[in-house]
Amino acid sequence: MRQGASGAGEDRFERSLAYRQRALRHLAHGVSSTPRASQRPTPIAIARAEGAHLVDIDGARYVDYALGYGPLILGHTPPGVIAAVTAALSAGLRAASIHTDEAALAEAMAAAMPGAEMTGFVSTGTEAVLLALRIARATTGRTRIVKFRANYHGWSDTVGLGNAIGDDGPAALGQDPAASASVTLLDWGDAGEVEAALDSSYAAVLVEPAAINGGCFAPPPGFLERLRAATSRHGVVLIFDEVITGFRLGLGGAQGRYGVTPDLSVLGKALAAGLPIGAVSGTRAAMEVLASGRLLHRGTFNGNPLSMAAGLACLNELSRSAATIYPRMDAFAARLADRLNHAAAKAAVGLQARALGAALQIFAAASPVVTLRDTARVDRDATLRFTGELLREGVFALPRGLCYLSSAHDEDDILRTETAIDAAVARFAA
């Protein structure tokens, strides 16, 4: 089987290029999620996956750091998850309106995460954000929301604005501006700005506790603690969007890592190890309006047996092995970031990487990217070109430079990736 072919021309991607032309005929934009179309030199069509590796339809093999855009924390084929989903599948696609894995997964989440006393399940992170905001509004009787610039909370009109530094507008065409009229945009990391803006007219503060999506930034010292104090002072619901950070920055998510417990948490991605899932978890007090049944909570696929089985198997594995899995993933991410920074400095090119927990972000930028505000200076096109060079070297990163580690990555994968980074940086410099 071919590895990613160093220096290969466009014929190296012949079948993926042909598939792209076919897909464009009847599949909108040729992809099912717009960012997938940005991969250089073409979106790669995958034939199969195992562990930490992908094989494309041209037969080339890659070390995978996209991991399904983050959910695959145990890799592509974790035996425990595969066995659990297979057993659930054999019982029927939708065997009953309720089943026992729903309560079992909620119990496992309560044991793992500080603020997860009660949980409600949905199918996606976007849905979970909408449910969390509805809970906050129903609980407080208020409508206003604080959202932070360059924090991403899904594609709904409600919070789909201010997703990039320097652009406070809607994230996409066709959005209803009235849907986000109750949203106040503030700068992530600036607790003083929140304290000055917040009053008793707000229902919620919605925040990514660590800005992985924006570039792998840890919260500034005291930021989360001051958010917790300010929201409590005004009776405002504090919502952590842990769709990315939940079960990735540690078994207890960002709230466990940083020691600040929100009222509500929005979860997804790693929770079900690769199957679709969304969840809102919170304290008993914050979840009362949902737990009592006063707030309607609907969805045909909420708590579906396959996702519940996958989530339960995933959390069981993470709980058993947390003491080894998380330090190893964190160390691998830091090591790859260091290797890229060293190679870029040696070649005198504007590339850099930041690591946070089991994730790292690659930037193409002429000056250091130290804060979330600095991401306004990132050269997006050059970043796409560099991840395209990594692809040619057999390393599959998200096109915009975000990379995730999994428990399936091993020392050989990291060594191969370090060699690929050196070669990709050299070609990028040339």
- Residue of 321, 323, 307, 332 lying closest to 406 (CA atoms): 332
| 152 is annotated as an active-site residue | yes
Please state whether beta strands 144-148 and 278-282 pair in parallel, antiparallel, or not at all (unpaired).
unpaired
| 241 is annotated as an active-site residue | yes
Q: Tokens 């919070």 sit at which residue?
A: 159
- Residue of 146, 282, 264 lying closest to 201 (CA atoms): 146
| 269 is annotated as an active-site residue | yes
Among 56, 64, 101, 241, the one annotated catalytic? 241
Please state whether beta strands 264-267 and 278-282 pair in parallel, antiparallel, or not at all (unpaired).
antiparallel
For the stretch 223-229, contacts whose Cβ atoms lie closer than 8 Å and that sit 24 or more positions apart, written own/partner, are 223/189, 223/190, 223/191, 224/258, 224/260, 225/260, 226/191, 226/192, 226/194, 226/195, 227/191, 227/194, 227/260, 228/260, 228/261, 228/262
Among 56, 58, 269, 413, the one annotated catalytic? 269
The set of residues, in sequence order, having a beta carbon less than 8 Å from that of 210 and lying 6+ positions away, is 216, 217, 218, 219, 245, 249, 254, 257, 258, 356, 357
- Round to whole Å and give the CA distance between 310 and 89: 11
Among 19, 152, 258, 404, the one annotated catalytic? 152
Q: Do residues 188 and 150 lie in contact, with contact meaning Cβ atoms separated by under 8 Å?
A: yes
Distances in whole angstroms, Cα of residue 227 to Cα of each of 183, 214, 323, 337: 17, 19, 30, 30
CB count in 10 Å sphere of residue 356? 23
Could you tell me how many residues make up the chain?
430
- Residue of 427, 383, 405, 392 lying closest to 4 (CA atoms): 392
Q: Which residues are designated catalytic?
A: 152, 241, 269
